[in-house]
Structure 1
Amino acid sequence: MTIPGYQEFMYPFLKILSDRKEHRLQELYVLLAKEFNLSEEDIEKLLPSGNQRILHNRIGWARTYLSKAGLIQIVRRGVFQITDEGLKIVNDPSVDQIDNKFLMKYKSFQTFKQVNKDNNQPKSEPSIPSETRTPNEILEQNYNTVKDEIKEELLEQIFNCSPAFFEKLVVQLLVALGYGGSLTDAGSAIGKSGDGGIDGIIKEDILGLDMIYLQAKRWRDSVSRPEIQKFAGSLDGKKARKGVFITTSVFTEGAKEYVRLIEKKIILIDGKMLTELMFNYNVGVTSENTFIIKRVDLDYFEE
């Protein structure tokens, strides 16, 4: 039997969770394979890269989309539970399948798919019917979808770690961005009581001609102006002119306006930018596959 597409797994996935118990992803691999009467040969089939089973990949994406729509919740890594909204869907006799079109009625899913509020079309597909997209357009869209999922997972992993780990992470990120040379002499995480509101320090260059002070807030709530003012005051205590304030959440408009008005140079990095930098500079991520797009070299064929 052909392995179903990831959308076909969505409703059976949700139905299994309708007992309101916690379920592990490994358990769902087995149950959904039985649901569709997949053979051992089907179950063992791999993606072209050879790094993952097709079945696991498709069930994983079904789980991601259900989670983004708020129909299931992640209890902890690899463990899921149905939400009240998900249970409502399962108990609705008029619903017997779930796909992306169905999930688009949920605002959280629209946000995940980067819906343009003006035309209600995904930004990555502006008014382009799927059948007219080029292979390059499809590849780029799928790459961005995978990237967004990884960035979401990065944030969850950060929240699962200790505050001390997060402070070290931001120092490592700045080193990866090119500040200070090697990690050994570039900077250090401070993170002690009495550190004066400073969580880390890093050399601006390999010679240490200037120092940059760091503040790291592993928060889910937004960071407002008073927090930035405290950080600016901490820089005064260090006779410092430059600082980087990093958070896993977002900054209020008041906080952004404050750093534009003061003389000191304070860079604000929110959760979205943090995970973007981590992704681009390979902090907390590792490469799995590399696809190279080639074109015909017309110059080569010139006689």
Structure 2
Amino acid sequence: MIPDYQSLMRPVLELAASGEVKISDAVSELERKLRLSDEEKSEMLPSGKQTRFANRVHWARSYLKQAGLLRNTRRGYFDITAEGRNVLAEHPDRIDAKFLERYEQFLEFKSRTNVSGVGDVAVENDTTTPDETMRTAHQQIVDALAADLLERLRDSEPAFFEGVIVDLLLKMGYGYDDTSGNILGRSGDDGVDGVINLDPLGVVQVYVQAKRYAVGNTIGSGSIRDFYGALGLKDVTKGIFVTTSGFSPSAKSTAEKLGARLVLIDGPELARLMVRHEVGCRVTETFKVAVVEESFFE
């Protein structure tokens, strides 16, 4: 298990006691000392730009620096201070944010970061860094929004639901322009609910089946075979089956075995896609997260 950033404070301080350390070397050395598995070493943040462990080492170093136990020496390097050595001489069992509150400069830092409401959460929380706290809060908002969207879809009229699915697929990049999708679902349409023309002449098409089912009312293999048959009547090989519920294991297996290219989208995935592509919802506020540009201070 990857240690939380507060548990890394003492190891980071001890590593600096031997002299100036490059931050990337500190990450590698602590990975070795803590015997992290290859999977733990490679676990990335949601941004995909930094490993989770490296991120936590950076935060541990940052908090120790705010308390005056570490100092930056040059770009990407840090060293222990005299006060940092005094702390190690005490042989504390643990160095964490509570421990650092003995230093006035750390309390001032904590007071400053409380202006945004993030610092206090991160300092009091034993396991998450400030950006992890922010991501968790963001995910909770997204999850609540997704659940609300899905509930509203289940309560909507069939034609409205089918229109939402076509709109979503167009937003996702299917079709040659925003007019290339049509709702079907009428007699004579062979049991499909919508179609997306991938080119202006409609030579290549993707057909859509949309099932507005309640929770627990899963789609079975029979419905998949029926949709496959409908695609055969249309002489197409691409289809997207969307539901507000879920698919049984046999339905998933059937979709994989059939010759056509069938994509299955269940309720949770449908809601996530709607949030991502802003269908039925909109972004009201954006927060920018900046980092120090080291080269600026060289």
TM-score with structure 2 setting the length: 0.56
Whole-Å separation in 2 of the counterparts to 1:269 and 1:201: 16
Whole-Å separation in 2 of the counterparts to 1:216 and 1:247: 6
The Cα RMSD (Å) is: 1.5
Whole-Å separation in 2 of the counterparts to 1:299 and 1:151: 41
* Greater shift in the superposed pair: 132-141 or 265-274: 132-141
Tell me the SS of whatever aligns to 1:131: coil
Whole-Å separation in 1 of the counterparts to 2:183 and 2:140: 33
Whole-Å separation in 1 of the counterparts to 2:154 and 2:295: 52
- Displacement, 1:194? 3.3
Q: Partner residue of 2:160?
A: 165
TM-score with structure 1 setting the length: 0.55
Q: What pairs with 1:1-303 in structure 2 (closer than 5 Å)?
A: 130-184=125-179, 186-205=180-199, 208-220=202-214, 221-302=217-298
- Contact 2:176–2:198 (Cα < 8 Å) also in 1: no
- Contact 2:192–2:207 (Cα < 8 Å) also in 1: yes
Letter in 2 for 1:154: L
Note the residue ranges of structure 1 that are not aligned, 5 or more in a row: 1-128
Q: Number of paired residues? A: 173
Whole-Å separation in 1 of the counterparts to 2:149 and 2:295: 43
How many percent of aligned residue pairs carry the same amino acid?
38
Whole-Å separation in 1 of the counterparts to 2:201 and 2:296: 47
Q: Partner residue of 1:31?
A: none
Whole-Å separation in 2 of the counterparts to 1:286 and 1:188: 24
Tell me the SS of whatever aligns to 2:235: coil
Tell me the SS of whatever aligns to 1:283: coil
For 1:84-128, what per-residue CA distance to the aligned partner results, in whole angstroms no more than 9, with x for missing partners? Answer: xxxxxxxxxxxxxxxxxxxxxxxxxxxxxxxxxxxxxxxxxxxxx
Distance 1:206 1:134, change over 3 A: farther
Q: Which has the higher contact order (CA 8 A, sep 6+)?
A: 2
Letter in 2 for 1:244: I
Whole-Å separation in 2 of the counterparts to 1:170 and 1:131: 42
Whole-Å separation in 2 of the counterparts to 1:195 and 1:208: 16
Note the residue ranges of structure 2 that are not aligned, 5 or more in a row: 1-123
- State which structure, 1 or 2, has the greater radius of gyration over its C-alpha atoms: 2
For 1:189-211, what per-residue CA distance to the aligned partner results, in whole angstroms no more than 9, with x for missing partners? Answer: 01213321110000234664410
- Displacement, 1:130? 2.9
Letter in 2 for 1:170: I
Tell me the SS of whatever aligns to 2:126: helix
